[in-house]
Amino acid sequence: MKGDLLDIVCCPLDKHDLELDATEREDGEIVTGTLTCTECGEVYPIEDGIPNLLPPDMRDEAPA
């Protein structure tokens, strides 16, 4: 994901801002990292360049 996606996305629970912590970047895009809600502190993972912004109770992998 690109960093400017933060202008559009927010916490799915309380709709507050997210703070980016990028651990891996490639060609200016964030490949791995986290997005943390500045209000509730919920942490959303970014993996393979795609943020998982599902509410936490839906985040666990679905059964195969």
Partner 1 sequence: MTDDESDGDGPSTGSVRATYDRIAEHFSKTREYPWPEVEAFLDGRSGAVALDVGCGNGRHTELLAERCERALGADLSREMVATASERSAERGFDYGLAQADASSLPVRSGCVDLGVYVATLPHLPSRDLRVASLDELARVLSSGGRALVGVWSTEHDRFDESEGFDTTVEWTLPGGESVDRFYHIYDPDEFRADIAESGLDLVEFEISSGNCYGVVRPES
Interacting residues with partner 1 (CB under 8 A): 1-2, 4-5, 7-13, 15, 44, 48-55, 57-58, 60-64
Q: Which is nearer to partner 1, 11 or 34 (CB)?
A: 11
Taken in order 60, 14, 20, 52, is the CA torsion positive or negative? positive
Cβ neighbours of residue 23 under 8 Å, at least 6 residues apart? Answer: 32, 33, 34
Q: Which is nearer to partner 1, 23 or 64 (CB)?
A: 64
The least distance separating partner 1 from the CB of residue 19, rounded to whole angstroms, comes to 14
